[in-house]
Structure 1
Amino acid sequence: MAELAQAEGYAPRSLQIWRTLLNCLAFFFRIFLQIVRGTPSMTQVLSYIGLRRPLLDSSSPSFKPLPVVELPQRDSSPPTAPRICDNKDIDDDLSFEKLTVVLDLDETLVCAYETSSLPAIVRNQATEAGLKSFDLECISLDKECEGTPKVNYVTVFERPGLQEFLNQISEIADLVLFTAGLEGYARPLVDRIDVEKRFGLRLYRPSTISTEYREHVKDLSCLSKDLCRTVIVDNNPFSFLLQPLNGIPCIPFSAGQPFDEQLLEVLLPLLKHLSLQKDVRPVLYERFHMPEWFQKHGIPASDYKF
């Protein structure tokens, strides 16, 4: 009787051990299938282990990070995406207006530091890693003791691929610079990075508006009443809370990211894809779900139309 009880006590343990072994075999079999189907790239591996940040905080369940992949040259909007613009004057031969791309400046295209407070080791490491930089004098709103305008000295780092990005985008879109920075700072900076005058329009802090939720919001209605073919790229998504369906959030850029590839590997393919769409908003809604993201941050949806 004791032997029988002992045998009954061992049977479940033995079964559990076999189940554990089978689960381990199944796990390794799935890994083998992944290898057979195609080994992931180094970029994907870094993304898996958390060394690569998404375009926005992926903790928001409604937000879908943009993968670093080339998009198809032409694709119809998903059936679940909202249909916003029904322009009957637009036919199917892609004869529609040029895309308007609104670009933020600081932490999107460049990053700037007060020269006197920038550690030499940071400058040297960024330069050795290949980041292009330049020193700049800009006029401040502050005054010297004598009443003359104060001059600030800043060091500016260009985001990797900036010039190639602007060259390619300017061929397929009208470029607008929209920054919350003051003109005395931003104007000479943009003069340095845009010698070819690729920006057709520059907008500074006075063009932003204040809302009950955030200051320095960029209202795209100052550019056009019809925003079917307008997008805004900004590292601060609250900048486009008035038009969440037109916004593309991007990773903030700093001097500590010399191998950043957002401009050429992430934003450029997306903007090329959007340049072929009659209405960019269904595509951006399906990819980012920005209205829901704003709602989760306590900001109700703006007056947009589905």
Structure 2
Amino acid sequence: MPELVQAAQVYAPTRTLQIWKSLLNWLAFFFQIFVQILKGTPCVTQVLSYFGVRNSSLLSSSPQFKPLPDVEPPEEEAPPTSSVALSTLQITTGSVPISVEEERLQKLTVVLDLDETLICAYETSSLPTIICTQATEAGLKWFELECVSSEKEYDGKPKINYVTVFERPGLHEFLKQLSEFANLVLFTAGLEGYARPVVDKIDLENLFSHRLYRPSTISTEFREHVKDLSCISEDLCRVVIVDNNPFSFLLQPLNGIPCISFSPGQPHDNQLLEEILPLLKHLSEQKDVRPVLRERFQMPEWFQNHGIPTCEFTNVR
């Protein structure tokens, strides 16, 4: 009996320890289930695996994602380079010329007076010889020609006048450079019988597109032989007249450039190349020349100071 009592005393603590271990395991099991419930995603496979269940059919109840095959996706076919370049060129070259064409300015029209603007002429019979001598020594170009007068001889034949013409310095270079960016029109109050042979002599390359003589001028209550630019173009935003006589353009004062009168006593005159040509180049870049000319010369005010009201002529149309 004493041995049994001793054995029972030894076994009792061991049995108690096993019971506590089992109890702790169950508590741990329920604690894991409780945690999964709190997370909202109970893992059935973990519960089953805890019991040693490894059935693949049960484990497959949770989604199984197979990895994508280790193969690079096929490359997209790039469009042929030539077709892309062609379409780009079509867009570029197809749109630019249209916009450039729309923005391209109409060629400037420059109306030039003749006497004392481009040349200076005298009747040869009344011209002192000393003037020709001095002009030649100064390098001034001049020539003589025959002109048909409007007067008649006693026998009814046209009278012939002999004229000496002095060219303004830089005349030919001026006309050549100006013709590169402007249409040239000659407009003189002189008679055709005199003016035509003079222009033929100074315009050997036919740079003037039109020639207008005295019959093309009009008379107003203020002055005669006025040059109405509307006979050249209805749209005057790109029309300029260069004349030593401002009264010639009193109908369109905003289109005029008054220049200094030329005479053979001014052999070193530089108006054409150094003053007028740069201004005309600048005007050729303007959509409307009139605002620039008004600010530069203030011709409406000049005419008003000379008793000529110009308010009816100064509206920019």
Q: Which amino acid aligns with 1:122?
A: I
CA distance 1:252–1:94, change in 2 (3 Å)? farther
Aligned to 2:313: 303
DSSP 3-state at the match of 1:264: helix
User: How far apart are 1:238 and its partner, in Å?
Assistant: 0.2
2:137 pairs with 1:132: no
**Mapped partners of 2:273, 2:214: distance in 1:** 27
User: How far apart are 1:217 and its partner, in Å?
Assistant: 0.1
Aligned to 1:204: 213
Give the TM-score normalised by structure 1: 0.69
| Contact 1:90 1:278 (C-alpha < 8 Å) held by counterparts | no
DSSP 3-state at the match of 2:287: coil
Alignment deviations for residues 206-234 of structure 1 (CA, whole Å, 9 cap, x no partner): 00000000000000000111100000000
Where structure 1 has 5 or more consecutive residues not aligned to the other structure, the ranges are 1-88
Aligned to 1:12: none
**Mapped partners of 2:99, 2:142: distance in 1:** 43
User: How far apart are 1:305 and its partner, in Å?
Assistant: 1.4
Aligned to 2:124: 115
Q: Which amino acid aligns with 2:314?
A: Y
How many residues align? The count is 218
Q: Trace 1:74-89 onto structure 2 (pairs within 5 A).
A: none
User: How far apart are 1:127 and its partner, in Å?
Assistant: 1.1
CA distance 1:166–1:94, change in 2 (3 Å)? farther
| Contact 2:300 2:314 (C-alpha < 8 Å) held by counterparts | no
**Mapped partners of 1:200, 1:240: distance in 2:** 20
Q: Trace 1:73-222 onto structure 2 (pairs within 5 A).
A: 95-222=104-231
Aligned to 2:82: none
Q: Trace 1:32-111 onto structure 2 (pairs within 5 A).
A: 95-111=104-120
Aligned to 2:299: 290
**Mapped partners of 1:256, 1:290: distance in 2:** 28
**Mapped partners of 1:125, 1:228: distance in 2:** 42
CA distance 1:262–1:90, change in 2 (3 Å)? farther
> Would you identify which runs of 4 or more consecutive aligned residues in structure 1 move more than 2 Å?
89-94
**Mapped partners of 1:181, 1:119: distance in 2:** 23
Where structure 2 has 5 or more consecutive residues not aligned to the other structure, the ranges are 1-97
Q: Which amino acid aligns with 1:116?
A: S
Aligned to 1:247: 256
| Contact 2:253 2:313 (C-alpha < 8 Å) held by counterparts | no
Q: Which amino acid aligns with 1:132?
A: K
Q: Which amino acid aligns with 2:104?
A: S
| Contact 2:217 2:226 (C-alpha < 8 Å) held by counterparts | yes
User: How far apart are 1:94 and its partner, in Å?
Assistant: 5.2
2:277 pairs with 1:265: no
Aligned to 2:34: none
CA distance 1:94–1:130, change in 2 (3 Å)? farther
Alignment deviations for residues 232-254 of structure 1 (CA, whole Å, 9 cap, x no partner): 00000000000000000000000
| Contact 1:216 1:239 (C-alpha < 8 Å) held by counterparts | yes
Q: Which amino acid aligns with 2:259?
A: C
Alignment deviations for residues 99-149 of structure 1 (CA, whole Å, 9 cap, x no partner): 000000000000001101111111000111011000010000111111100
Aligned to 2:46: none
Q: Which amino acid aligns with 1:304?
A: T
Alignment deviations for residues 24-82 of structure 1 (CA, whole Å, 9 cap, x no partner): xxxxxxxxxxxxxxxxxxxxxxxxxxxxxxxxxxxxxxxxxxxxxxxxxxxxxxxxxxx
Q: Which has the higher contact order (CA 8 A, sep 6+)?
A: 1
**Mapped partners of 1:90, 1:252: distance in 2:** 43
DSSP 3-state at the match of 1:269: helix
Alignment deviations for residues 126-181 of structure 1 (CA, whole Å, 9 cap, x no partner): 11101100001000011111110000001000000000000000000000000000
Give the TM-score normalised by structure 2: 0.67
| Contact 1:105 1:178 (C-alpha < 8 Å) held by counterparts | yes
Q: Which amino acid aligns with 2:160?
A: V
**Mapped partners of 2:99, 2:272: distance in 1:** 30
Instruction: Give me the identity figure in percent.
Output: 75
CA distance 1:92–1:297, change in 2 (3 Å)? farther
2:286 pairs with 1:277: yes
User: How far apart are 1:303 and its partner, in Å?
Assistant: 2.6
Choose 1 or 2 for highest CA Rg.
2
Alignment deviations for residues 165-211 of structure 1 (CA, whole Å, 9 cap, x no partner): 00000000000000000000000000000010000000000000000
**Mapped partners of 1:278, 1:294: distance in 2:** 25
**Mapped partners of 1:92, 1:282: distance in 2:** 24
